[in-house]
Structure 1
Amino acid sequence: MTRPVSTPLALPASLSEADEAALADLFRRGTPENTLRAWERDLAYIAAWKQARFGAALAWPEEEQVVLRFVLDHSIDLEAEGGQARRAAEVLIAAGLRRSLGCPAPATLDRRVASWRAFHRMKNLPSPFEAPLIRQARGKARRAAAREPNPKSPHPITREVLEAMLKSCDDSHRGTRDRAVLMLGWASGGRRRSEIAGLNCDDIDAREFAAKGLLRIRLLRTKTTGPERAPRLPLKGRAARAVMGWMRLAELEAGPLFRPISLADRPLPRRITADGIRRIIRHRLELAGYPADFATAHGLRSGFLTQAALDGAPLAAAMQLSLHRSAIQAQRYYADVEIAENPAANLLGD
Structure 2
Amino acid sequence: MKPPAPYLPSPSPALSQADQEALTDLYVRGTPANTLRAYERDLLYVTAWKQARFDAALDWPEAEAIALAFILDHARDLNDAAPEDRAPQAAEALISQGLRKSLACPAPSTLDRRIASWLAFHRMKNLASPFDAPQVKQARAKARRAAARPSAPKSQHPITRDVLEQLLATCRGSRRDCRDRAILMLGWASGGRRRSEITALMREDVSLKEFGEKSLVWISLLETKTTQKGETPRLVLKGRAAQALVHWIEVGQITDGALFRPVSKADRVLKRRLSPDAIYQIVRHRLKLAGLPEGFASPHGLRSGFLTQAALDGAPIQAAMRLSLHRSMAQAQKYYDDVDIAENPAADLLG
The TM-score by the shorter chain falls in which range? over 0.9
In the alignment, structure 1 segments of 5+ residues that lack a partner are: none
Task: Go from structure 1 to structure 2 and tell me whether the alpha carbon gap of 1:235 and 1:132 turns closer, same or farther (over 3 Å shift).
Answer: same
Partner residue, 2:303: 301
* Counterparts of 2:329 and 2:114, CA distance in 1: 25
Distance 2:343 2:5 in 1: 48
Q: What do the CA deviations read for 1:194-242 (whole angstroms, capped 9, x no partner)?
A: 2111111121112222232211110112112233111101111111111
Instruction: Specify whether residues 3 and 346 from structure 1 end up closer, same or farther in structure 2 by C-alpha distance, changes over 3 A only.
Output: farther
Alignment of 1:18-97 (within 5 A): 18-82=18-82, 83-97=85-99
The SS at the match of 1:100 is coil
Aligned-partner Cα distance in 1 for 2:254–2:52: 53
| Amino-acid identity (%) | 63
Task: State which drifts further: 9-18 or 71-80.
Answer: 9-18
More off after superposition, 20-29 vs 111-120: 20-29
**Counterpart-to-counterpart distance in 1, 2:19 and 2:74:** 38
TM-score, reference length from structure 2: 0.92
Q: What CA distance in whole angstroms lies between the structure 2 residues aligned with 1:335 and 1:80?
A: 40
Matched with 1:177 is 179
The alpha-carbon distance between structure 1 residues 178 and 161, as it changes in their structure 2 partners (threshold 3 A), is same
Q: Are the equivalent residues in 1 in contact too, given 2:12–2:20 (CA < 8 A)? A: no
Query: Are 1:148 and 2:150 matched, yes or no?
Result: yes
Whole-Å separation in 1 of the counterparts to 2:107 and 2:314 = 34
Letter in 1 for 2:86: Q
Counterpart of 2:128 in structure 1 is 126
Name 2:281's counterpart in structure 1: 279
Residues 55 and 269 (structure 1), Cα distance of their counterparts in 2 relative to 1, 3 Å cut: closer
Contact 1:283 1:292 in 2 (8 A): no
Q: How many residues align?
A: 347
Asked whether 1:112 is paired with 2:106, we answer no
> What whole-Å deviation, never above 9, does each CA across 1:43-70 have from its counterpart, x for those lacking one?
1111122222222211111122221221
Per-residue deviation at 1:2? 4.2
8 Å Cα contact 2:4-2:44 kept in structure 1: no
- Given that residues 312 and 342 in structure 1 are in contact (C-alpha distance below 8 angstroms), is that contact kept between their aligned partners in structure 2? yes
Aligned-partner Cα distance in 2 for 1:258–1:86:
43
CA distance in 2, matches of 1:264, 1:242: 22
Matching residue's letter, 1:308:
A
Quote the Cα distance in structure 2 between the aligned partners of 1:66 and 1:249: 57
- In 2, the alpha carbon distance for the partners of 1:142 and 1:56 equals 27
Any stretches of 5+ residues in structure 2 without a counterpart?
none
Mapping for residues 292-331 of structure 1, pairs under 5 Å: 292-331=294-333
Verify the 8 A CA contact 1:11 1:124 in the aligned structure 2: no
TM-score (norm 1): 0.92
| 1:106 Cα deviation from its structure 2 partner | 0.9
Contact 1:10 1:125 in 2 (8 A): no
What code does the residue aligned with 2:242 have?
Answer: A
Distance 1:130 1:2 in 2: 24
Q: What displacement does 1:183 show? A: 0.3
RMSD across aligned C-alpha pairs, in angstroms?
A: 1.9
In structure 2, the CA distance between the partners of 1:45 and 1:251, relative to structure 1 (3 Å rule), is closer
Change in 2 beyond 3 A, CA 1:347/1:279:
same
- CA 1:265–1:92 in structure 2 vs 1: closer, same or farther (change >3 Å)? closer
Q: What code does the residue aligned with 2:41 have?
A: R
